């Protein structure tokens, strides 16, 4: 069911936030006591961070509101908002930790180091799913500073370069089911909050086998005059048609999107990308390749298009095109979904490993080893149930270890690489017991 506005509880929460910015008198009147938290523990998302960076914390809270849905309601909790006048300053940390213990999820922003370090230390993984986020200058999974501090907590962590990227990270982290999504149609950045929320909701429903509900959500969306001319819900409906084996629904949805997109090359590219994705799911690889190439021609350089195209290239045994397109996918700075980026990283590292084996190009071994460095961390962030990212890191570490073992004076580095491979592939094997580990990981240094 579409919501034209926020429900009363959310409206009150937003109103409180707005009021709290006005005057200290209003602030004292409106701040609730930390013992009175909205919602249930499973709905609460603790937002921790340095309060001098309150705009970032407010953006995180807004993302949580926008991601919340009827199937999974989420309520952001910034401790600052629940510190009532009269609580001694010496007790604020105690109250912070009490609030944290009553939240199912916790997101800690490390734009700067502060009291959140204590909160991170106290976050019990048995009761709270935690994520550390921090701004970075380039695509990598380590902060520019405080690296040792972040890694010492052993919590999932992820860098972001833009708020759109941060929203994608938060969405994937909070929607457990979203990590199960396969190769689907991934829309671009959607700036309308309702359209964005309902499209994400439909994708999660689709990923968890609730095609009927996903179809209902999308049809209600397009019955709304505001969204009838948006192509995203129609393209999601086309995908629902595929999973429901309803070719009529897929055809009608594509036709409607085509009518809306006429004369707009970027919108036409989205349709070609969706058609290519459906062809891919049907294992019609030649058709998928043609559609995806057309998407890239209409709107060149879009990482979502190129990641999928590169993978299809590889399956069609066009290795050079696969590597080139996947490299170009990672040059796109505006990919809205972190899993698209990570799939591209994973694929490219694997492609380099295979090419290194075929060509004996040592530089590719180094490229694959470096590129795959953070895949196990990403695996942890998104609670992946598939072992592919771990497998890729393991294979890259095996290749590096075997190469270094043949080099003079590199035995210690070879041992380190093989130890990494052994640990990662053991974890992968636990997820997929039928996976056979490379024999080289059994060697002892």
Convert the pLDDT of each residue in 375-422 to its tens digit: 988 888 777 778 889 999 999 999 999 999 999 889 899 999 999 999
Residue 316 has pLDDT above 50, yes or no: yes
Task: Report the C-alpha gap between 206 and 210 in whole angstroms.
Answer: 5
d(CA 406, CA 52): 53
Would you state the pLDDT for residue 137? Answer: 76
| CA atoms lying within 13 Å on the CB side of residue 29 | 8
| Contact in structure between 48 and 103 (CB atoms under 8 Å) | no
Query: Residue 10 is inside which H or E element, if any?
Result: helix 8-20
Q: Mean pLDDT check: name the lowest of 3-17, 30-44, 95-109, 229-243.
A: 3-17
Q: How far is CA 237 from the centre of its chain?
A: 22
Task: Examine the pLDDT at 436 and tell me if it is beyond 60.
Answer: no
What is the average per-residue pLDDT within 247-274?
Answer: 96
Helix, strand and coil in the chain, % to nearest 5: 65, 5, 30
**Is 61's pLDDT higher than 90?**
yes
pLDDT beyond 80 at 118: no
How far apart (Å, rounded) are the C-alpha atoms in residues 213 and 209?
A: 9
The average confidence (pLDDT) of the chain is 83
- Cβ–Cβ under 8 Å, residues 158 and 165: no
> Which carries the bigger pLDDT value, residue 344 or residue 138?
344
Q: What is the pLDDT of residue 9?
A: 42
Higher-confidence position of 414 and 86: 414
What is the β-pairing status of strands 44-48 and 75-77? parallel
Q: Taking residues 283-302, what's their average pLDDT?
A: 97
Give domain 8-174's CATH architecture. Answer: 3-Layer(aba) Sandwich (3.40)
pLDDT at 74 over 90: yes
Report the alpha-carbon distance of residue 186 to residue 172 in Å, rounded: 13
What pLDDT score does 21 carry?
A: 39
Q: At what angle do helices 231-243 and 247-261 cross, to 10 degrees?
A: 160
pLDDT at 125 over 80: no
> Do 164 and 334 meet the contact criterion of CB atoms below 8 Å apart?
yes
Compute the distance between CA of residue 343 and CA of residue 326 in angstroms, rounded to an integer.
Answer: 10
């Amino acid at each position: 069911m579409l919501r034209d506005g926020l429900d009363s509880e959310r409206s009150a929460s937003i109103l409180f936030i707005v009021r709290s910015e006005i005057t200290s008198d209003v602030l004292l009147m409106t701040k609730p006591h930390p013992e009175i938290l909205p919602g249930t523990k499973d709905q609460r998302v603790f937002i921790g961070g340095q309060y001098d960076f309150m705009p970032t914390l407010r953006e995180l809270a807004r993302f949580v509101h926008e991601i919340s849905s009827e199937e999974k309601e989420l309520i952001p909790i910034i401790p600052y908002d629940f510190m009532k006048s009269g609580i001694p300053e010496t007790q604020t940390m105690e109250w912070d930790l009490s609030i944290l213990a009553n939240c199912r999820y916790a997101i800690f922003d490390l734009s700067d180091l502060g009291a959140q370090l204590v909160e991170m230390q106290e976050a019990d993984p048995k009761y709270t799913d935690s994520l550390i986020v921090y701004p970075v200058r380039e695509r990598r999974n380590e902060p520019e500073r405080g690296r040792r501090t972040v890694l010492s907590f052993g919590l999932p962590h992820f860098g972001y370069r833009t708020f759109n990227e941060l929203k994608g990270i938060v969405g994937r982290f909070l929607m457990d089911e979203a990590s199960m999504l396969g190769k689907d149609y991934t829309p671009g950045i959607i700036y309308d909050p309702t359209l964005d929320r309902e499209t994400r909701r439909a994708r999660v429903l689709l990923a968890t086998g609730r095609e009927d509900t996903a179809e209902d959500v999308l049809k209600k969306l397009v019955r709304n005059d505001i969204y009838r001319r948006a192509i995203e819900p129609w393209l999601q409906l086309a995908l629902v048609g595929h999973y429901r084996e309803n070719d009529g629904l897929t055809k009608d949805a594509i036709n409607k999107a085509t009518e809306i997109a006429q004369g707009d090359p970027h919108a036409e590219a989205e349709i070609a990308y969706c058609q290519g994705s459906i062809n891919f799911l049907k294992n019609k690889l030649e058709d998928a390749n043609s559609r995806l190439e057309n998407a890239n021609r209409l709107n060149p350089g879009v990482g979502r298009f190129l990641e999928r195209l590169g993978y299809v290239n590889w399956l069609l045994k066009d290795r050079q095109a696969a590597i080139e397109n996947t490299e170009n996918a990672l040059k796109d700075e505006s990919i809205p979904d972190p899993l698209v980026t990570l799939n591209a990283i994973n694929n490219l590292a694997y492609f380099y490993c295979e090419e290194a084996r075929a060509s004996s190009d040592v530089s590719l071994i180094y490229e694959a080893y470096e590129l795959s460095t953070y895949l196990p961390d990403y695996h942890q962030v998104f609670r992946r149930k598939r072992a592919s990212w771990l497998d890729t890191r393991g294979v890259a570490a095996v290749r590096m270890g075997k190469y270094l073992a043949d080099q003079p004076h590199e035995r210690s580095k070879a041992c380190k690489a093989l130890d990494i491979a052994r640990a990662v592939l053991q974890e992968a094997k636990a997820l997929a017991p039928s996976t056979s580990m490379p024999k080289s990981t059994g060697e002892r240094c």
